[in-house]
Structure 1
Amino acid sequence: MNLNTTRALRSLTPLALLGALSTPAMAIQVTDNLDLGGAVRARWDYDPDRDIQKFNFDTAILSANYNSDTWIGEAKYRFYGRAYPYNYTKHVGDVQFAELAWIGYKFNPDQQVQVGLNQLPFGLQPYFGSTFYQTMGSVVGLEDVEEVGAKYIQQSGDWNIQAGYYLRPAWQGKGTSNGETYSSVVSEADSYVTDGSNNQERNTVVLRVAKALDLGPWKSEVGISGLTSSLENRDTNNDGRRNAMAVHYIGKNGPWGVQLQAARQQMSPRNPGTDELVTFGGYDATYNVASRGNLYVADVSYDVSGKYLFDQISGVKLYANYSAFDKSADDFKTSQRMIFGTSFSLSKLWIATEWLYGKNDPVIGGGSLTQSLGAGGSNQWENQLYMNIGYYF
């Protein structure tokens, strides 16, 4: 559920950023090359079916960004706790983890390498749509995933090529769960996860190739991605595999934007129990994900020009996003998510307001956190309102 897109500005073509969210740039410039910044965010959750009406602290973020003619780097760290949905903890910082921590070298303006905790170059970048509350891709471990390794980026005319090798997921932060990371990654199940597993992902190889082109009035990008890794099961000491592929399209025509993606994820774990489920974790929780399924994403957006309310409101974007995780097992119910929302700047604040719909969704409407992405939850559409208000510095 993050939005700061600066981590992608030096690694992607302009077309690859069409669907990304933008935030006020108010970082503190320490030197000509080093900026320090961060954010303080609040959130509002409204779900009358669950008697939830909360307005409270969301997160605090500290960040650093370095950029010279040759050396580049970025670090970002997040703090949660005490407030909903982490009101089971006592203090801000009881849940905390790194989002990014990498250094890089630019061979020239079109070639660079990044080493450390950086984003996997898979599918739509940097996010699978225009939304703040991310798509089904984030909870099945394909969207906005940061792992520890090296990534090479090359821009050759209209072609953008990115290749990465990652030794392991991010290091565990602090929390109450085995899922103490920013990204949703393969994890050891907590005791409350029925049919949970204990796999560790290692040696992830990713390749993403994209081409910019014009389709009539649409400035477009089409691309394909592939991912493969080993799944080391700590109970059986046997290795399985995780494979994923995706094709994507980004288009921009004046104020209109479109993003489309279809992906296949196929995992073959060597669990002591069922191999139809793999436990993932992130944001201080663990849950099961169907080992095989197709992910579909469609996003449409419209940029509203001009300034409003005495020039205090600007950068207004309207958007709608649909994503679905269609599982291969016959008795597993499809997980779906729809988001209708708007984002805008209000003076020095950045605000996103979204109407969330979920069916067999682990986090929308109080579905089954641990099983919705596996066998499924209530199989009913649930909805709630969500707002995030951030001051970025």
Structure 2
Amino acid sequence: MHFPDSLRLSPSFLALLCSFAAPAMAVQVTDNLDLGGAIRARWDYDPDRDIQKFGLDTVFLSAKYNSDTWIGEAQYRFYGRSYPYQYTKDYGDIQFAKLAWVGYKFNPEQQVHVGLDTVPFGLQPYFGSTFYETLGNVIGLEDVQQIGARYIQQSGDWNLQAGYYLRPAWQGKGTSKGVTFSSVVSEADSYVADGSDNQERNTVVLRVAKALDLGPWKSEVGLSGLTSSLENKDTHNDGRRNAVAVHYLGKNGPWGVQLQAARQQMSPRNPGTDEVVTLGGYDGTYNVASRGNLYVADVSYDVAGKYLFDQVSGVKLYVNYSAFDKSADDFKTSQRVILGTSFSLSKLWVATEWIYGKNDPYIGGSSYTQSLGAGGSDQWENQLYMNIGYYF
């Protein structure tokens, strides 16, 4: 890839890339326990806003345990200093846990997890093939972890997952009131107009999916439901959050299709407007429309073979579309399109994505705090994004 002159690598970035190319250092402590992690860099290019940034993105450490009966996983992440966290002084000024759970396998078909674990809602583990993830992530439905218990049962072609979660993850270290890995209901920072202060409690989730063949397509169809209480810290009254989703996942040779439709309806007891609820994550807080429909469509293609002297493999091409259509008449629909590819380059894993968004808090400078609520610039904006990771 050719980088513009302003992105030519400094000695520190060269040292970073050299560290990526070092031999893998995974540690198998015992036959059952593995310690690992990742070092990831990112490149952001937005010509309309004159953003050309390359720097260290994430460092995370992980542990996994797996035996005939006991299982578990933990992951802790560090961010800071580099874009988009250039406002912090040191790397590690932003940090939080993603996972921290232990589990027990009753038998090969049944297990239970307890701790900070993934909420089983909709397509799993993500709502598509993208690295950047869909709008489902920022409205609090995709890749969400909370503290509680999850039961998993596989019965033939049927997969059942049920969860009860006491609360979202505890806040990590950062500058905001939204310092968690997941996008979760949060107390608003002072910069969020019409922000609220709610705490999500007692989340109950049920997901049922069935594997089946539809002609040549190996498929899965599923239904998910979620309900929780929203405890408002100002009025001391409880509202509710309800969500339901139907999904389809299909695979036919190299082709993959993922489809999902979801409805989220929150009825907060805010002292001000009930049309928005403040969510937070990744060291920021923002408003999300209380009621709306999420639509996701993803098509992917796996490219067989190895290339460039067998250094490039596992190539996947994909396009993903997600939209959050809000129920309030004067709220503008949020949309995100991602056209991308991911592949392995020697010991690195690389995702390169062109992201095209409208009323998207993360794309093109549309309002970060209001795009998922009333709306932002209401214009299509785009940027290029690359993530380069060394996993060990």
> What TM-score range do you get, normalising by the shorter chain?
over 0.9
- Aligned match of 2:147: 148
Counterpart secondary structure, 1:177: coil
* 2:111 is equivalent to residue 112 of structure 1: yes
- Aligned match of 1:215: 214
Distance verdict in 2 for CA 1:220–1:25, change over 3 Å: farther
1:5-41, Cα deviation, whole Å (9 max, x unpaired): xxxxxxxxxxxxxxxxxxx997321110000000000
- Aligned match of 2:272: 273
Counterpart secondary structure, 1:275: coil
* 2:45 is equivalent to residue 46 of structure 1: yes
- Aligned match of 1:10: none
- Aligned match of 1:171: 170
**Count, aligned residues:** 370
* 2:353 is equivalent to residue 354 of structure 1: yes
- Whole-Å separation in 1 of the counterparts to 2:50 and 2:178: 27
**Percent identity among equivalent residues?**
86
- Whole-Å separation in 2 of the counterparts to 1:25 and 1:258: 33
The answer on whether the counterparts of 1:26 and 1:392 sit within 8 Å (CA) in structure 2 is: no
- Aligned match of 1:314: 313
- Aligned match of 2:262: 263
Counterpart secondary structure, 2:97: strand
Distance verdict in 2 for CA 1:216–1:25, change over 3 Å: farther
Report the alpha carbon displacement of residue 343 of structure 1 after superposing the two structures with TM. Answer: 0.1
- Whole-Å separation in 2 of the counterparts to 1:130 and 1:83: 26
Counterpart secondary structure, 2:244: strand
- Aligned match of 2:288: 289
Report the alpha carbon displacement of residue 166 of structure 1 after superposing the two structures with TM. Answer: 0.1
Counterpart secondary structure, 1:235: coil
1:220-248, Cα deviation, whole Å (9 max, x unpaired): 00000000000000000000000000000
The answer on whether the counterparts of 1:117 and 1:148 sit within 8 Å (CA) in structure 2 is: yes
* 2:39 is equivalent to residue 33 of structure 1: no
**Letter aligned with residue 286 of structure 2:** Y
- Whole-Å separation in 1 of the counterparts to 2:150 and 2:130: 26
- Whole-Å separation in 2 of the counterparts to 1:27 and 1:37: 5
- Whole-Å separation in 2 of the counterparts to 1:231 and 1:25: 44
- Aligned match of 2:252: 253
List 4+ stretches of structure 1 deviating above 3 A.
24-27
Counterpart secondary structure, 1:86: coil
Distance verdict in 2 for CA 1:143–1:26, change over 3 Å: farther
- Aligned match of 1:77: 76
- Whole-Å separation in 2 of the counterparts to 1:301 and 1:25: 29
- Whole-Å separation in 2 of the counterparts to 1:230 and 1:367: 30
- Whole-Å separation in 2 of the counterparts to 1:26 and 1:316: 24
TM-score, length basis structure 2? 0.94
- Whole-Å separation in 1 of the counterparts to 2:27 and 2:292: 44
The answer on whether the counterparts of 1:113 and 1:152 sit within 8 Å (CA) in structure 2 is: yes
* Alpha-carbon RMSD: 0.9
* 2:353 is equivalent to residue 381 of structure 1: no
- Aligned match of 1:302: 301
- Aligned match of 2:8: none
- Aligned match of 2:367: 368
- Aligned match of 1:323: 322
Query: Which protein has the larger Cα radius of gyration, Structure 1 or Structure 2?
Result: 2
Counterpart secondary structure, 2:307: coil
**Letter aligned with residue 115 of structure 1:** V
- Whole-Å separation in 1 of the counterparts to 2:246 and 2:86: 39
Structure 1 segments unaligned to the other structure (5+ residues): 1-23
- Whole-Å separation in 1 of the counterparts to 2:364 and 2:390: 27
- Whole-Å separation in 2 of the counterparts to 1:28 and 1:364: 38
Counterpart secondary structure, 1:122: coil
**Letter aligned with residue 344 of structure 2:** S
TM-score, length basis structure 1? 0.93
- Aligned match of 2:92: 93
